[in-house]
A and B are shown apart, each in its own frame.
Chain A
Amino acid sequence: MAPSSIPTIDIESLGLDQGALLLIRRALAERPVGGELQVRGRSPDWEMHLEAWCRSQGHPLRFDTVEGKPQARITRGPHAEGRWRDAQATGTALGDINGAPADDAEAGWGLAARGATVEAGSPNFFFALHRRHELWATTAGELYRQAAAAQWDPATAIEWDADFELPPAIEAAVVQVMTYLIENENAALLVPARHLGQIHPHFREVLQLLALQCADEARHVEVFTRRATLRGHEPALSTAGGQASLRTLFDAPDFSVATFLLAVLGEGSFVNLLNFLQANAPDPVTRQIARLTARDEARHVAFGMAHLEYRLSVQPDYQAKLRNAIEVRYDALASTAGLNEEVFDALVLLAAGELSPGAIARGHAAVQQLQRDMAAGRRARLARLGFDRDEAERLSALHTRNFM
């Protein structure tokens, strides 16, 4: 018999229910529509299975006898390509030449990997945050890698059994400060978490970074709780004013505004507070906790800044919205008491370490310095976002007295 020019594969004794379908599909994919493929095989049911499979896939099939053995001849049907007609391109995994993802991620890209080819007709997903300028930061990928590398284990990173003994009043002050920190960290966890579920996964670096940010805050809640209860106390007092302040963050509907208020102003101030605790706390456990959490918070501030710098670079008039957000929040909180006395006094006591007038004077001075440092930090960040000196000064002063 003359040699055939039709490509032939031999699946030998491999059954179609044992993987031979893979070999047939691959070989057939290389044939044009209407092109033929010959298949030889010798597993017991291969002919029957091939018939059933070709029927289900719309590939015409016949059997010839070659040298006394059956040989299948499959004609590639017209439907194989159909699934990928008008498929949607979703950019490239690493973004464009500048590493940036698409301007606007389409609803039909859904949950697919960035860079994947998505079948037309895939369901639309509603992601409120799908436009790049609403959520992107050019350093998001780098910050994510830093965050992933900097995760720490609360069980081993802190010497929980360090030997120390505090006077009861000072221990109570630590407990009060921890109580205050916990409610603030709950806000810092829930605010990004609320927006996280609305972000189109095309912007995966932001998604990944915010997920780790949530993990950071969950860890902070744990370590602050553990320190508060370390000597057998329950957490202490929570004020209406403090919660009202946090509620304005919780309710901010716009991702950029929420990020501005929470990360740039609030967590920025918190970095100063945690540095203060690292320097002034009366026991080694609190100092260790403050050091580790401050490092995490600094990354959150970095993302907030990078996002707003990006947004303002493509949408300069967005600055007016940021200014407005500070003013509205100030007005909303004008009738509240601000930082509660219990927290303020606790910070003084904690820095004083004892109840003598001399120690209290030192503690009080340290807390006043903390407030000046916080205000200076806010002014500097506002200036980096393009506010002029006087405006930065004014807006920094309007920031909630609750610090966060």
Chain B
Amino acid sequence: MSEPVLIMGAVAYAPKVVTIWEGFKAFFVKNGLPFDYVLYSNYEKQVEAQFDGTLHLAWNSPLAWVRADRIARSRGQQVHAVAMRDTDCDLRSAIVVRADSPIQTLADLRGKTVGMGALDSPQATLIPLDHLRSEGLVKPRDFLLRYFDVLGGKHGDHIGGERDAAVALMAGEVDACCLIDGNHLAFGLDGTLPSGSTRVIARTGAYDHCNFTTSPGAPAELIERFVSLLMAMRWDDPQVRPLLELEGLREWRAGRTSGYALLERAVDDENFYSRDGAILNPDYRY
């Protein structure tokens, strides 16, 4: 009988995803872990495949984690977040206006148009909506919302929605836009948002991003070897560094689930998923 192979799912949100996982596959196989991966065009199909025996684990967006966790709980099963990037921890999003805008506080957004990212973007849509709601601003009652809905089903992994919203802000098409803090800096450095041209009027609370989510009944021994190999990856190893640079991290960390509370709340308030992980938003295309 052939040796069991650990099968991982990943979403192809950009061409580099193939390079990344081919590189990881070679790394794992070279280090004695039989490993293969399956690419999905969207997180929803990937999460569903975690429950039909196709996948042993998945590289999940935070929103995919929320759905996988809900589906598992509703069935009396468990999924685990076993690893994440150092850069996945404690992110914040910013609500940004033009520097010359009369808008000073969130309350001034009443009646205005706020540009967000994709419908399913935790960082550029769901968490900012949660933040506005907690400040008493609920769409569409208190403000107009304009989605920059790039690549549905990718959960905002694609930077395009945030960039489009930033460009629309500068063009005066929206009164505010929502970005991850790091993208605000990146857009400043690359000239999308010329330095000094914008003002941050609010920041959301801290939240966590992606994680490796195990499927119910995943082979524990293979998962353990997978995690220990990840943790042994060193950024100063020239063979490994290109993979870590592509994936945007300096080191892997043990998974934690303490950073998803804001998103959990947003998912309920926005009626995005049900408690058992069913998709509720009728406008969601993936």
Given A45-B184, A48-B203, A49-B184, A85 and B251 contact (CB-CB distance below 8 Å): no
* B234 is an interface residue with CB less than 8 A from chain A: yes
Task: Kindly list chain A residues whose C-beta atoms are within 8 Å of the C-beta of B91.
Answer: 55
CB distance B185 to A17 under 8 Å? yes
- Total A-B residue contacts, Cβ distance less than 8 Å: 73
CB distance A121 to B238 under 8 Å? yes
* B4 is an interface residue with CB less than 8 A from chain A: no
Which segment of B104-112, B126-134, B194-202 sits at the interface? B194-202
* B248 is an interface residue with CB less than 8 A from chain A: yes
Cβ-closest chain A residue relative to B189: A17
* A119 is an interface residue with CB less than 8 A from chain B: yes
Task: Kindly list chain A residues whose C-beta atoms are within 8 Å of the C-beta of B203.
Answer: 48
Task: Kindly list chain B residues whose C-beta atoms are within 8 Å of the C-beta of A70.
Answer: none
CB distance B196 to A86 under 8 Å? no
CB distance A58 to B86 under 8 Å? yes
> Interface digits, B170-191 against A, CB 8 Å rule (1 contact, 0 not)?
0000000000111011001100
CB distance B251 to A58 under 8 Å? yes
CB distance A57 to B236 under 8 Å? no
Interface members, chain A 45-67 (any B CB < 8 Å): 45, 48-49, 51-53, 55-58
CB distance B236 to A49 under 8 Å? no
* B25 is an interface residue with CB less than 8 A from chain A: no
* B42 is an interface residue with CB less than 8 A from chain A: no
Given A119-B238, A121-B239, A17 and B195 contact (CB-CB distance below 8 Å): yes
Which segment of A75-83, A184-192, A242-250, A343-351 sits at the interface? A75-83
* A18 is an interface residue with CB less than 8 A from chain B: yes
CB distance B250 to A79 under 8 Å? yes
A18, A55, A82, A85: the one contacting B182 at CB < 8 Å is A55
CB distance A56 to B182 under 8 Å? yes
* B35 is an interface residue with CB less than 8 A from chain A: no
Cα A77 to Cα B242 in complex, Å, equals 19
> Interface digits, A23-55 against B, CB 8 Å rule (1 contact, 0 not)?
000000000000000000000110011011101
* A120 is an interface residue with CB less than 8 A from chain B: yes
CB distance B184 to A55 under 8 Å? no
* A154 is an interface residue with CB less than 8 A from chain B: no
Cα A118 to Cα B250 in complex, Å, equals 20
Cα A55 to Cα B250 in complex, Å, equals 10
Cβ-closest chain A residue relative to B200: A45
* A15 is an interface residue with CB less than 8 A from chain B: yes
A53, A55, A85: the one contacting B236 at CB < 8 Å is A85
Tell which of A17, A44, A49, A51 has the most Cβ of chain B within 10 Å.
A17
Tell which of B94, B234, B236 has the most Cβ of chain A within 10 Å.
B236
* B113 is an interface residue with CB less than 8 A from chain A: no
Cβ-closest chain B residue relative to A81: B236
Cβ-closest chain B residue relative to A45: B200
* A367 is an interface residue with CB less than 8 A from chain B: no
CB distance A86 to B238 under 8 Å? yes
Interface members, chain B 215-273 (any A CB < 8 Å): 234-236, 238-239, 241-242, 248, 250-251
Cβ-closest chain B residue relative to A16: B185
Interface members, chain A 168-222 (any B CB < 8 Å): none
User: What distance in Å separates the Cβ of A358 from its nearest Cβ neighbour in chain B?
Assistant: 79
* B87 is an interface residue with CB less than 8 A from chain A: yes
* B92 is an interface residue with CB less than 8 A from chain A: yes
CB distance B185 to A52 under 8 Å? yes
* B22 is an interface residue with CB less than 8 A from chain A: no
Cα A79 to Cα B249 in complex, Å, equals 10
Given A17-B185, A56-B182, A77 and B92 contact (CB-CB distance below 8 Å): no
User: What distance in Å separates the Cβ of B145 from its nearest Cβ neighbour in chain A?
Assistant: 23
> Interface digits, A102-139 against B, CB 8 Å rule (1 contact, 0 not)?
00000000000000000111000000000000000000
- List 24 interface pairs A-B (beta carbons < 8 Å), by A numbering: A16-B185, A17-B195, A44-B200, A45-B185, A45-B200, A49-B185, A49-B188, A51-B92, A51-B181, A53-B185, A55-B86, A55-B87, A56-B182, A56-B248, A58-B86, A77-B250, A79-B251, A81-B236, A82-B235, A82-B241, A83-B235, A83-B241, A85-B236, A121-B238
Not counting A18-B195, A83-B235, a sample of 11 additional A-B residue pairs whose C-beta atoms are within 8 angstroms of each other reads A16-B188, A48-B92, A48-B184, A48-B185, A48-B200, A52-B185, A55-B182, A58-B251, A77-B250, A82-B236, A85-B236
Which 3 A-B pairs give the minimum distances between C-beta atoms?
A: A17-B188, A121-B238, A82-B236
Interface residues in chain A, defined as those with a beta carbon under 8 Å from any beta carbon in chain B: 15-18, 44-45, 48-49, 51-53, 55-58, 77, 79, 81-83, 85-86, 119-121
